[in-house]
Structure 1
């Protein structure tokens, strides 16, 4: 092949400056390499141009090409292991450049496992590869190819390296922007899934509560009414001389106790005070009723430092939190023999915190944490994406139940 005529320095400079203009507004790798290809064709003729970029794990690379189409384009979507790249020595920093007069016969591209068929299939004979460096490290390679053998010279190596140095900082910024965009998309998808899950959980909690209340009304209107009629009939039978009163008395007493227990269950199913008067008033009523029904002398205290934040929660959230506190209070009354029970409501910018503290027997047995009531509390908290922590009270006395509910972010001020 006849030697090519030298290119005037001013023409080289003109086209180098044109590269910067060509990059303006290019926001993706493919449009960038297409624009660069057209601009440098005068000073660096080529039939094929590609950019290889090392990925974060430093074990794979992606590739973008223009000109002759080869399977290198697949590596933009399905990264190629660097160990299989025909120019791995350059990517690993072992070579300053690779200049091949005829790649079809170049043993450097024929090592075991080399993925070299795109070169041979497209018959890219003259090949020139220089590194792309950013922040002192090799981040990829710029490659030029011609079908003609013995085409490129050391002058072309220098020109190509100058082009690579111009492109490297732009490619680095573009890659960082692309990574930030992908991260933002992933975070937005996570937030969308979390919000969808949160709304789904609230709907599920609401449906569960509605079903619970329906069962309570059915128990009141049907089962309790039937038991009341049976109790009255037993009472009438006790007045008849033909029926021994000593046999009916235990039955009447057992039925009366069952009715009282059922009334407590029905009363617990639907927190009407919570729905009528609000979260804090509902909790005050819960504490008073729980202690009154227990027949024990227990002092109760409720402190809310959130200015009624609980009242601004969704109804399903209020009811679920009410149930958790109800379970904690009942658990303390039944198992811990406390002298006092205190409920504290506090908040941070991101969470509402509920603390139920008693001065009873404490966590003297690990089995207490395995009760059905404790598991119910944990399940209810999970449905709200909340956390429940159960531990000993201050100075190792009593039990402390802490509930932490995430709050939605506050709107930005206008």
Structure 2
């Protein structure tokens, strides 16, 4: 009887310890799970803040570029047109007065176009294809180089924030070609077929050794912005053989 009582006590004691272990395990798992949830929330909040900060920086850069463009247009284009209109109005000939009026009407159209460019709401209404065409037309109008644009597959469908970032990435790529490549031709191709979304930016300029490519703020921004889009990029270049930039967009 004493042995039975002792065995029962041991069984009860073991059961108590097992129950204590189970409760401790459950408590630890709950605490661990809540900690992981908290870490995930903090990570998501950090990513969201970083994305919003990237958007703000992109908007600021685009606005600064736009203001620079407006300044050049006011000085080089509209200023000259107004001077020409003044000369025509100073003449007494009817045809000169008529020409002056035509020039003023053109000035009004130019100013309206510039005022629209100051508001980034145009990003929502424009698609990437039209934006790229417009950027390449600027290069040809400035007689910088020849350009080519093509699209394979469907037009890209992007949200405003995604477009803003991609617009700035393409602008940076073109600016780098303008500053450093000295190309005769710049071409951009959009490939949006099946499960692949790819933008190719190619020039036939002087190229560079990719092993010695700069890791400065420009390249860092490039990497960061492609990461924000959920995509990736690759740069292929050789000395005197041009440069090819591949922008891999998320599917």
Q: TM-score range by the shorter chain?
A: 0.5 to 0.7
Distance 1:229 1:173, change over 3 A: same
For residues 224-373 of structure 1, the aligned pairs below 5 Å read 225-226=78-79, 276-294=125-143, 296=145, 298=146, 300-305=148-153, 307-309=154-156, 311-314=157-160, 316-332=161-177, 335-339=181-185, 341-346=187-192, 353-364=198-209, 369=214
CA distance in 2, matches of 1:210, 1:391: 27
Distance 1:304 1:208, change over 3 A: same
Match of 2:224 in 1: 382
Stretch deviating more after TM superposition (202-211 or 280-289) = 202-211
CA distance in 2, matches of 1:212, 1:299: 21
1:44-84 CA-to-partner distances (Å, cap 9, x unmatched) read xxxxxxxxxxxxxxxxxxxxxxxxxxxxxxxxxxxxxxxxx
Task: Give the structure-2-normalised TM-score.
Answer: 0.59
**Within the alignment, does 1:184 sit opposite 2:31 as a pair?**
no
SS at the partner of 2:189? Answer: strand
Match of 2:96 in 1: none
CA distance in 1, matches of 2:136, 2:72: 24
CA distance in 2, matches of 1:364, 1:281: 32
- Between 1 and 2, higher relative CO (CA 8 Å, sep ≥ 6) is seen in 2
Verify the 8 A CA contact 1:354 1:402 in the aligned structure 2. Answer: yes
1:143-163 CA-to-partner distances (Å, cap 9, x unmatched) read xxxxxxxxxxxxxxxx3x553
SS at the partner of 1:301? Answer: strand
Verify the 8 A CA contact 2:208 2:237 in the aligned structure 1. Answer: no
Distance 1:303 1:404, change over 3 A: same
Unaligned runs of 5+ in 1: 17-158, 237-265, 408-414
1:322-350 CA-to-partner distances (Å, cap 9, x unmatched) read 2322332354356253556233345998x
Distance 1:8 1:390, change over 3 A: closer
Match of 2:100 in 1: none
Unaligned runs of 5+ in 2: 89-113
**Within the alignment, does 1:402 sit opposite 2:227 as a pair?**
no
The alignment covers a number of residue pairs equal to: 218
* Higher alpha-carbon Rg: 1
Task: Give the structure-1-normalised TM-score.
Answer: 0.39
* Structure 1 residue 375: Cα displacement: 4.8
* Structure 1 residue 286: Cα displacement: 2.4
